[in-house]
Structure 1
């Protein structure tokens, strides 16, 4: 069973406790996808110059945030890992001349488990987490994802977890999203649907409000998009599944890539 890949915004960690249009969408999405053989997540919250990947047989839950309600720190997502899948990923990286480093005992950060506990609440599907490198070029990030595309034919679900508009310094208490955030999302949407890689790779220079949407200190939330797109290079199709916002500017969207 070949599954599509996804870019999924994980928003605020509070999504784990919330019941709203976006969380209900994630629940339905998980039900519609059935049971993948394994899930591989490129997480914005694991940004490293080296390509790292988890190799655990079972994961701990990282509460890598502070200042949230106490209930947040009691939530767990004890998903199993898949050391055999981790080895396959390492072998694909090696065959494409990309050095990768296995990591044992890291746990799943909230960029991984917040969305998965909505999509697959039983926590019974094996998960492998992969780091991203926000300092690589978009083309390099895309090509790393493309290295792993063969695993989609084996029932592996790939997710890039981050946020297309993610600037914590520009959050607001407005009920309606800021126009500049909507403009940036719309620009990305148009180029994504056309699979216009040259323009997307140059988003920093060409996209409206790029500095606000993807600040220099927050690129790690945008780049999982390119890793996820790379896994869908064969079909080059993108479909926007939902678009919402938190705090005026924090973009909540899901793109299906196939």
Structure 2
């Protein structure tokens, strides 16, 4: 008898004000929960939770909502996301990572940055599912984060949803003029579509080796990710689906012309699922 597992997801969380904006990505995220079994807990690898030289896991039972940005509408700073933490799960994840050779620790006091709470406010607005935040290491590349994600691969079978929260493209310098002008709906330039098209094709075909080497192989890789911390959560989500996976693009839109809001779902292959 087949025992199903939750998929792992990559969410492009976009600008902090996506949570209050009228965009295609925000509308899609508001409907996502209806497409998934309800998880018992959520683990979010956030591009804004950066720790060098190791991995940190939030173990606070009642994390605060951190407004880690400036210059946006006052109402954005009044938003709270009062989901509880899950200290036992956090400490177990840290232990599993250590056992797999990663330097890892549980943090007793760490709040939810907007890479965690902004998409969850849209997807699970009631904040009634425990959440654990997982850091990324900006000094380690895709291979490190893919292997880290593989340590989490069993969580989907335990009804724990693993989300990588980042951005499919993330050149803020190119985005700032449109952001300051409030011009969200702009044509996507070729240097963005060239990169996203290459990534989409490799993800759909499961070409892991090429994806891990995207900075050398993908067209316009550095233009779209001057630094790659916002793409690293994608590799955590890929790894969390197990040794082999089926990748499905769930949503594709853009913000400010140059910020791709593409979202991906990674389902474990049947061979990775006990009882299959």
In which range does the TM-score fall when normalised by the shorter chain? over 0.9
Which residue does the alignment assign to 1:47? 50
Paired residues for 1:211-222 under 5 Å: 211-215=222-226, 218-222=227-231
SS of equivalent residue, structure 1 residue 36: coil
Which residue does the alignment assign to 1:184? 195
Q: For the residues of structure 1 that align with 2:263 and 2:168, how far apart are their CA atoms?
A: 10
Deviates more, 1:116-125 or 1:200-209: 200-209
Q: For the residues of structure 2 that align with 1:164 and 1:192, how far apart are their CA atoms?
A: 12
Structure 2: where are the runs of 5+ without partners? 268-276
Structure 1: where are the runs of 5+ without partners? none
- Give RMSD over aligned pairs: 1.2
CA offset at residue 234 of structure 1?
3.5
Which residue does the alignment assign to 1:140? 144
Kept in 2, the 8 Å contact 1:9–1:162? The answer is: yes
Q: For the residues of structure 2 that align with 1:251 and 1:16, how far apart are their CA atoms?
A: 16
Q: For the residues of structure 1 that align with 2:106 and 2:92, how far apart are their CA atoms?
A: 12
Deviates more, 1:24-33 or 1:56-65: 24-33
CA offset at residue 31 of structure 1?
2.1
CA offset at residue 175 of structure 1?
1.9
Deviations 1:101-152 (A, max 9, x none): 1112221000011100000000010000000012213212101000111111
Kept in 2, the 8 Å contact 1:60–1:105? The answer is: no
1:194 is the counterpart of 2:198: no
Q: For the residues of structure 2 that align with 1:122 and 1:234, how far apart are their CA atoms?
A: 33
Which residue does the alignment assign to 2:218? 207
| From 116, 127, 134, the counterpart of 1:123 | 127
Deviates more, 1:78-87 or 1:88-97: 88-97
Q: For the residues of structure 1 that align with 2:102 and 2:151, how far apart are their CA atoms?
A: 9
| From 220, 230, 236, the counterpart of 2:239 | 230
